[in-house]
Amino acid sequence: MSYDKALNRVLDTVKPHIGEGQVADYIPALAKVPPQRFGFAIYGCDGDISSIGDADVAFSIQSISKAFALAFVMSGRNPADIWRRVWREPSGTPFNSTVQLESDNGVPRNPFINAGALVITDMLVSDHGPGGAIAAILGFMQLISGAQSVSIDKEVAASELATGHKNYGLAHTLKSFGNLENDVDDVMRVYAHQCALTMTASQLAAAGVFLARGGYDPIRKSQVTSNEVVRRVNALMLTCGHYDAAGDFAFRVGLPGKSGVGGGILAIIPDQASLAVWSPGLDQYGNSLVGTLALETFVEVTGTEIL
Ligand code: GLU
């Protein structure tokens, strides 16, 4: 089935549900996003591109940025240096949970819960400096999406910094266990700006295609990172990409995927395509309700073989 046909089938299925779920409001600037949005874009490994709905409307990618930050950091570091500071196990807890970090002696369960992402951001700050880390991750996203218009929404970043008490708590706990090299304020500033990256579903699908092609970027015809890094990022997306609903997402969709509280989800079909869907209403776990339904429908109607 062609991607266009599959996307039309997806839209037929999700249409009655568009607007369902709760738009994230714990970051006040995100609460303003209209819940009726829905966009879905596909970037095939063979260059076949297709999209439907609001695929060219920019949104806050939030935690989807964690998958890219991890790939970026892994590309420049010795693996042992990373994996002694963060584990690779699903946490079974909400994205911003503080409960495990203390009993786990300051070592987060995985790089996609907020505690683990803060450790990865700390590495970004160590590698590029407090002044250069934001520009480094923005430049990486512009490069791999092929879009200079990818930007950071300063209002969203400021809004998160003004209200991110739990994340500050996590960062201070990490620091108290010696698992943060840089100042809490520097790490938090970079983390909030990274989460405030603003992209369209079409740009996000393009940015993710190297994860479907063993690290090769068909847009620029160059290797972005190694196959080994991609294999590991995809494994973590499959097992930990949806917080305490990671198992349910794997059961329903079966693809490596990473969600964000802005309502976006990036999903990868290895050797085939990168998929990006956006619908701002979230389920109780902080994952896009209609976005998950859209991906589930996509794999069903296309008969995608997963593993
Ligand atoms: N910036 C958000 C936070 O730390 C990201 C959460 C998410 O997208 O799941 O709360």
User: Which residue from 66, 302, 304, 59 is spatially nearest to 202, judged by alpha carbons?
Assistant: 59
Residue among 25, 30, 33, 62 whose CB has most ligand 1 atoms within 8 A, to mutate: 62
Main-chain dihedrals φ then ψ at residue 233, nearest 5 degrees: -65, -45
**What's the CATH number where 88 sits?**
3.40.710.10
User: Which residue from 279, 142, 259, 256 is spatially nearest to 199, judged by alpha carbons?
Assistant: 142
pLDDT at 223: 95
The maximal CA–CA distance of the chain, rounded, in angstroms, is 54
C-alpha 199/C-alpha 150 separation (Å) is 6
Cβ(277)–Cβ(288) below 8 Å: yes
Torsion sign over Cα 233, 236, 237, 243 = negative
| Containing structural domain, residue 24 | 4-302
**What's the gap in Å between 282 CA and the centre of ligand 1?**
12
Cβ(234)–Cβ(270) below 8 Å: yes
Cβ(271)–Cβ(212) below 8 Å: yes
**What's the gap in Å between 47 CA and the centre of ligand 1?**
31
Cβ(6)–Cβ(298) below 8 Å: yes
Residues framing ligand 1 (Cβ under 6 A):
62-63, 95-96, 114, 160, 167, 195, 260-261, 286
**Residue 307 covered by a domain:** no
pLDDT at 304: 87
- Which residues are tagged catalytic? 63, 66, 191, 243, 261
**What's the gap in Å between 97 CA and the centre of ligand 1?**
11
Question: What residue owns the CA closest to ligand 1's atom 2?
Answer: 62
Per the structure, how many domains does the chain have? 1
**What's the pTM value of the predicted model, to 2 decimals?**
0.97
What are the pLDDT digits (tens) for 88-127? 999 988 888 899 999 999 999 999 999 999 999 999 999 9
Name the strands in the sheet holding 151-152, side by side, starting at the edge strand that comes first in the sequence: 59-60, 197-199, 151-152
User: Which pair of tokens denotes residue 233?
Assistant: 């990022």
Burial state string for 186-214 with b = 16 or more CB within 10 A and e = fewer than 16: bbbbbbbbbbbbbbbbbbbbbbbbbbbbb
**Residue 277 covered by a domain:** yes
C-alpha 290/C-alpha 17 separation (Å) is 7
Q: Which ligand 1 atom minimizes the distance to the CA of 260?
A: 8
Q: Amino acid identity, residue 12? A: D
Cβ(197)–Cβ(60) below 8 Å: yes
pLDDT at 305: 72
Q: Which ligand 1 atom minimizes the distance to the CA of 286?
A: 9
Q: If you average pLDDT over every residue of the chain, what do you get?
A: 96
* pLDDT over 80 at 156, yes or no: yes
